[in-house]
Structure 1
Amino acid sequence: MNSKNMKIISIALVVFFIILLVSAIYSTYFSENYSIIYLPKFSKIVSFIPISSNSILIAGNEILGNTTEGLAGIYYINNNSFIDLNLNGSFDNGSIYSVASNGSSYLFVGAKYIGTELVPTAFLYDNGKIYNYSKYFSSFAPGQAFAADWFNRTWLVGGDFVIYQSGGQHSIMFMFLVGIKGNEAIDYTKNISMELGELPEGEIFTINNSSNEVLIGGSFSIYTSVFLLSNENLNVDPSTILYKTPGSILTASPYGKLWLAGGMEFTPQSVEAPQPYPVPYLITVGNNISQINIPYKIGVITSIATESDKIAVAIRVPFSQYQNITGGSVILYGKLSSLSKVYQSEDISINQLSFIHGYLLGVGYKIAGNNSVGVLLLYKV
């Protein structure tokens, strides 16, 4: 692969949800099994976690002119009500990208501008009180915190940061991974750096736990990257990092004794195209990686949800609409060997999926002209 193509891929991986500029048309699909709920307080809903069989904690942002504000609240499914959480302006001029829970408190992570610098941001919400955890990421600015989870009595937070070279003319993106336990923080990035002899180039986009291990996914250099940490050993061993193809891992979920992970890859054909495009990338992860074929060849897998042998996959794909190319979503559902399309929309993008109390629930946003509005999707399973 030549240096021109390497540069194209590196630039593309910086974009978390890529705007697809390729022409493709997928047929319209309707179903009576789902409902769409609009939450106009949000411009985009990015993340959520179930907190009971009837309620979810959602987070995202509101776009206010040229600025954004990170928002969060609790949505109750049975009576279609919403309660706003007062974050006291913690994410003013920024956005929340991920929310995690330890059962009694919630950690919100994202990024916001302080002056002209974009900095990783994290706040703990505990019994109505807010604690600033952004201090643990001060050495990773400018940067963003994309993912968080609770594992082995530790908050794990991952993202990326930029180092400028040649007097600011060139920049390189590096990943960071920090564990917060009590009032102490452990910089696992240093462990990776010492093993490699250099800072780990790339990003961390997703952190997901199961009962005895956690999967961390993103990109390592320009390649899709996942690595697993166990309860017994939270040290990152770079020799266990699994990477295979140019692209990035954006989402993952436990699947029996394995993991399902997804995101995007760049094939030789997609890179050599006049307008390079991403290809949906779905894999099982264990001692090795196996790729799963899906019927979409252009797009990005934005979320995976699993429950027993049931699987749901959200894919952001391009649609042709009134001579314009728009980014919408398709949801596949079923068993791994027989996934079928159950939902699609030309103007709704789904950022995250989860099974909850007989429903497949998705969050995202609907494009409305030059604006967007937060949406919830409830699909009866």
Structure 2
Amino acid sequence: MERRAVKYKEYPEPLEMADYEAATRQFVEHAMRHPDARAVYRYGTLRNPGISDLDFVVVFPERVQDQGVFSSIKQAPEEVLHLVGRGNIMFMNEDSFRRIHYIDPGLQLKLLAGREYEFFHPTEAQWAFRQTASVLDWLPERVWRILRAQEEEVLFVTHTLVRLRSLSHSFQNVTAMVALPAADRFCQKLDELRAVWFSLSQTEQQRSLLAMMREAVDAGKETLAAWFSSMVPDIHISCGFQTGEVAYLPGLRYVSSREFAVRREAEELRFHMPCRWFDHYRFYAQQEGALGSSIRAISREIGESTRCLTSEYQSFLAEKYAACNSNFAWALRHNLGLGGSFRFGFLLPRLLPSVP
């Protein structure tokens, strides 16, 4: 049933690729004025001008001389912020950036200015591990965000279109490994909607957006149910049941259970999943370092060691975690806050007092 009281705000405006190119040039000039900035990269694709966002990575050395550089870079020209506001300006240290391909697949990095870095890459045998880890790190969270948006009285149209696109990326990672018709249909319909968006009336846009959100949630739950019911020999080994709960974000919790289910308790959405999959999240929470400490600080009982994961998959997760933790700890040391400094599966929106 459609919501009757919803208010729609911040519709996308028709733009040309030239607008993105001009904004990119402005941002690069703005960021590279700062001596501590080593390079600016762009990631992602620009397929639908007016709807697509701009995502940048600004790379820094381990020690930054001017602590004001981060807030200064975020005070970019208004034309830039208009396009980046629904995307990201990520700050990364050189160590983490060299290992960014362990964090997520398909980033499509493009050097815009500054130093060209040589990257470390997962081995060919680890590619499937990276794909699996990306699905686990992102898909439940992205479904949760659409569910939350369905409950809001105000719907920010452009931002919602971007979130639906992010969800489709996770679906594509899933369907690259296993056939799931609902996820495929959603991705196709969303591409079609984005392509014709500016030819629709405002009423048609509203109706289409709500329909896509409903389909996103249905496809998300169906995809997660199919995903968590599977067992992958390269990742899982036979193990007993071990309870545990892990949270990365307020309002979202992962729970070790006998089978997959999505349940709401008070203000929290809980994704229940078999222990063999929950051990992926438990692995991160058990690691040393600032990131593991942060996850433990907002979790409850994470439970015992990861007995359900193969040593090969754990080895890959350790490398991914090391890259993530390096940037996370660096961001804390430089008092960045985490709103735009860290992404890829560990979106922790605020500093926690218990973090060392």
Task: Compute the TM-score of the two structures, normalised by the length of structure 1.
Answer: 0.28
Question: Larger % of helix: which?
Answer: 2
Higher relative contact order (CA 8 A, sep 6+): 2
